[in-house]
Chains A and B, each alone.
Chain A
Amino acid sequence: MSDQRTQVGVPVLRRDLYAKVTGAATYTVDVSPPGTLHAKVVRSSHAHARITRIERDAALATPGVVGIVVAEDLKDLFPRFGHIVPDHCILAIGKVRYYGEPVALVVAESLFAAEDAAAAVEVHYEELDAVMTAGDALADGAPLVHEEFYRAATDESFAAMAAAPTEDGDGGARDNVAHTVELEWGDVDAAFADAHLVVENERVHYPMLYAYAMEPYNAVADFRDGRLHVTSTAQHPFMVRTDLARIFDLPLSRVRVEVPYLGGGYGSKSYTKVEPLAAIGSWATGRPVKLVLDVEESIYTTRADSADVTVRSAFDAEGRIIAREFDVVLDSGAYADNSPLVLAKTVNRCFGPYRVPNLRARGRSVYTNTSPASSYRGFGAPQGSLPGELNIEKAAAELGLDSFEIRRRNLVRPGEEILRGKRGIDADLLGDLEMLANSLQSHAREDSAIGIGFTASDAGAFPVSTAQIRLQVDGSVLVLSGSTEMGQGSESALAQIAAEELGVPLDAVSVAQSDTGTGPYERTTGASRTTTLAGLALQRACTEAKQKVVAMAAEVFGLPEADIASVPGGVQVADRPRVPFGEVISRWFGAAAGEVTGVGLVRREGVTQKMPPFWEVGVVGVDVEVDPDTGAVKVRQLATVADVGFAINPRAVEGQDLGAATQGLGGALFEELIYDGPQLVNPNMVEYRVPRMQDLAERIDTMIAERGDGVGPYGAKGAGEGTLNPMAAAVAGAVAKAIGRWPTRVPLTPERVWRLMNDLPEEDGE
């Protein structure tokens, strides 16, 4: 079988390459229906304050202003959103919970008019005590971010994605704990009592991050005749549709969410963001409304949860883990967004792909008066693996084992469970480890400081996916998918799968994605699921289409179906020449007209019954040097292993892995959103430092391990997040070896490393 494959497993150029490089590609910002009005958001200037009065008369008198919407105008709507906890006010109701929170929406004929008027909206506040850190929020008597209780959405899929039951906190009713998760098995206390060695890393901090998609959050909404049409920068248009339908009490069929090319997402465009704002603007004015955020506004819209994690692990004399214990606290900001799931995933992923006979992991997601946190590429794995893997490195040092050997003794073997009762791991981590070791060690120098990291993420999210394939009378093929092309290359991968399944040239296949009004349902574009789940749905759609063509051919030729063979590109009867799909369709309809649609469905059944649908492995290693004078860290080598089962487009897999590793390097060495008082001090691209070309390793080795062990097409599994996840841990471990000190936080900026190596306090004590 496999040697007959011609369209998959070969590197192809991205389909959007030329359009994007030449600027011809269409993004949400390019969409302007006739008569479009422009919106500007009036934002909170306090971290926590009661809104006492909003004066909009002066602003309404500004030339060109069409309307100004505030929370009290939304009384007849459901004024909140949130797919897990609907706590998120479209416009602040009664009080603001973070600096930058939307308070009013100005809609005008031009963006200039909207901006001028926004500056003229006077919001009066009565300031409240704010909680700016998770520590502040958890303190006795801390001011409450939320006084109300919000009932969580009762969708069992979210429970299925968390290994342990997650519980709503009091929703803020008594404290600031938004969610808690507890995962436990075995007898942890007994194991610690019997341990040969106990290793602890206390309060390891992972920073707040901005995903830095080059495209900020944008949306265009057109509400008319009881229908809402939104074009936006959303990864999950079907999820956004659900939130919008609830706000306006519309049937799902009357809400259309369309997503053109997405200028990067990295998880930060998961779920609803600015769509409700544009939608209420259009609802209030009866005209299309466009909302375009700048970078600073985008940073205040969503960030990654920061984490403080304490980990203790117990080992026997042979260096085998006998127990691990984690305490995780996430600073989730002012609203829950996807943080309950990020929390559940942090807990699922923090202890790593190891045999852990006794485990206790406790997590709390905490509301603070900071910008709301949500999904970010890796989804809890980076936050959890930094302490988890650093702890393994520390144990190796204390046990006298090298980084590779301690993992050889502890990594799960293929098929073994990581999470009790869940799918066993569909990867060969020991095989990956040897690839990594060979690569790094064969290029090591005498003074090399090598750090490695392993993660396994319960990936794929919840397996609900549908796809359609439409065979055209001229032999061309249209693939319809609800999965968003967000730069990851799904347009190319889906085309390759369809071409392979149907036996048609790649050029014959067109792909249309992410339009809830015309395309098929896809639950999400996240958790690295598209190749595996959308790919499976597409394979099934192709199978159905081919079966239909066989049935049609049988009718056309007056033969039993059993006499018709489905062959690449068409059907064949005995030893007669192949009849292409188009000809069968044309003869069946009796005209050069008509088409055949195949539908493919994926749910929790068969190969995708067991959760998670697949494991996404992260296997990375770095070799660093530290400048003794400045503390600056230079990465000499980066090695990654993509354990993807089968690489549909190897070029894309390598690109995704290098991209993810580089993004991980950002959190490891450079990136951090910093609050000073109510505001961020670096909400811009000059002071929020991301990796640059010169920061890349001198030697880069992106390896692909293909063992056909995934449930997706041709044995494929997802990729794209894996190599980000253990990067901070690998870099921190390498730096620890270089300087002989254990970092307790990232990013490891030059000053931090210099202070660490000189045993200086973290900050000047002035």
Chain B
Amino acid sequence: MLGTFTVSRPTELGQALDLIGEESLAYWGGTELFLAMKMQLLMPGNLVDLKGIPQLREIRMSGDELVIGAGTTHDEIATDPGVRGAAGLLSSVTSRVGNSRVRAQGTIGGNLCFAEPRSDLATVLLALDAMVQLQSSSGERRLSITEFLLGPYWTAREPEELLVAVCVPIPAATGVYLKFQFTERPSVAVTAVVSDGGQPCRLAIGAVADVPALHTAESWDEFDAASIAAGIEPVPDLTGSVTYKRHLTEVLVKKAIAAVRAGERDG
């Protein structure tokens, strides 16, 4: 059962930034937060409900970036024509996150800040070379996904900072996202992307280790699935042992690369 707490409902970003801190947590869809609170892993005295701040729910193009407000739900991203046109892979992955309730409630910002190691979004955003924009009352900064994700349920975000937007370079790379999912969360996810501008081939492996890992090369020939799989440190759990998850990684890396080389594109 949830403990006792208060809820603030700011309507402007400035108010929200004044409120957020160690004991006063940002709250969007609550799909992860309330689970943690019910298990008493988190016991905040106050929640700052950010749903009333319109700018945090915007999706817009800004120069060579697609800027997605942190409070945008998975469903909103999946069904947004702009995202579909500029970053089809992201659109496709968000349509496959969790279950329909999670997609309707959960947000991109909440997902990244919770840093669930089996997050689909972290993996695909890493492959797409996305940046996260953090803001506090004293300033703002931009971090790459690698800089932002420090470990399981652990990010570089300071308690008083709010993740306000995710920025994806456009035109975004295209490719495929494959996952092996037997239970509620994936055991391994692999995404392989290329961009039109002849950027290197990018392969991101997520859900299997503490944080997603990125591999880049000039050509797909340079990737060796077996050695990539051998190099990861899978977290064993009920969905697979270390040996099995390494094996699954190798299988998915091979499949993802073969699919991209064959011209398959998600979204």
Contacts and interface: CB of A to CB of B under 8 A. Distances in A.
B244 A751 contact: yes
Given A686-B183, A689-B183, A630 B241 contact: no
Contact of A630 (B184, B238, B243, B251): B251
Contacts, number: 39
B248 interface: yes
Nearest to A111: B1
Interface string A446-464: 0000000000000000000
Contacts of B236: 764
Interface string B7-24: 000000000000000000
B251 A764 contact: no
A654 interface: no
A682 interface: yes
B5 interface: no
B238 A681 contact: yes
Contact of A764 (B4, B242, B248): B242
B247 interface: yes
A115 B1 contact: yes
Contacts of B241: 751, 763-764
Given A111-B1, A764-B241, A632 B182 contact: yes
A674 B238 contact: yes
A749 B251 contact: no
Interface in B169-191: 180, 182-184
Given A687-B183, A689-B182, A766 B248 contact: no
* A contact residues, range: 20 to 34
B251 A750 contact: no
B64 to A, nearest CB: 39
A112 B180 CA distance: 41
B151 interface: no
A758 to B, nearest CB: 9
Interface string B232-245: 00001010111110
Q: Is the interface of A mostly helix, strand, loop or mixed?
A: loop
Given A674-B238, A681-B238, A754-B247, A630 B1 contact: no
Contacts of B240: 750-751
* B contact residues, range: 10 to 19
Interface string B62-94: 000000000000000000000000000000000
Given A112-B1, A630-B251, A764-B236, A749 B242 contact: no
B182 to A, nearest CB: 6
Contacts of B183: 686-687, 689
Given A112-B1, A674-B238, A686-B183, A629 B243 contact: no
Contacts of A681: 238
Nearest to B251: A629
Contacts of B247: 754
Contacts of B238: 674, 681-682, 687
Contacts of A674: 238
Nearest to B243: A764
Contacts of B182: 632, 689, 749-750
A115 B247 CA distance: 45
B1 A754 contact: no
Nearest to B248: A630
B68 to A, nearest CB: 27
Interface in B217-267: 236, 238, 240-244, 247-248, 251
A39 to B, nearest CB: 14
A751 B247 CA distance: 10
A25 to B, nearest CB: 22
A553 B243 CA distance: 81
Nearest to A764: B241
B43 to A, nearest CB: 12
A674 B184 CA distance: 17
A317 to B, nearest CB: 43
A717 B34 CA distance: 48
B226 to A, nearest CB: 14
Nearest to A631: B244
Contacts of B1: 111-112, 115
A689 B184 CA distance: 8
Interface string A688-724: 0100000000000000000000000000000000000
A275 to B, nearest CB: 23
Interface centre among A629, A689, A751 (most CB of B within 10 A): A751
Contacts of A766: 242
A630 B186 CA distance: 13
Contacts of A115: 1
Interface in A604-635: 629-630, 632
Contacts of B4: 112
A682 to B, nearest CB: 6
A111 B241 CA distance: 40
Nearest to B2: A112
A509 B233 CA distance: 65
A115 B3 CA distance: 10
Nearest to B250: A629
A632 B183 CA distance: 12
Nearest to B185: A686
A742 B184 CA distance: 29
A760 B247 CA distance: 13
Nearest to A628: B251
Contacts of B244: 750-751, 754-755
A112 B5 CA distance: 13
Nearest to B188: A630
A763 B243 CA distance: 9
B106 to A, nearest CB: 15
A287 to B, nearest CB: 22
A590 B118 CA distance: 76
Interface string A98-139: 000000000000011001000000000000000000000000
B242 A630 contact: no
B201 to A, nearest CB: 22
Contacts of A682: 238
A91 to B, nearest CB: 22
Contacts of A755: 244
Contacts of A632: 180, 182
Nearest to B40: A119
A556 B100 CA distance: 66
Given A630-B248, A674-B238, A687-B184, 7 more contacts: A115-B1, A689-B182, A689-B184, A751-B240, A754-B244, A754-B247, A760-B243
The 6 A-B residue pairs with the shortest CB-CB distance in the complex, in nearest-first order = A751-B244, A764-B241, A629-B251, A686-B184, A689-B183, A764-B243
28 contacts: A111-B1, A115-B1, A630-B248, A632-B180, A674-B238, A681-B238, A686-B183, A686-B184, A687-B183, A687-B184, A687-B238, A689-B183, A689-B184, A749-B182, A750-B180, A750-B182, A750-B240, A750-B244, A751-B241, A751-B244, A755-B244, A760-B243, A763-B241, A764-B236, A764-B241, A764-B242, A764-B243, A766-B242
Interface of B: 1, 4, 180, 182-184, 236, 238, 240-244, 247-248, 251
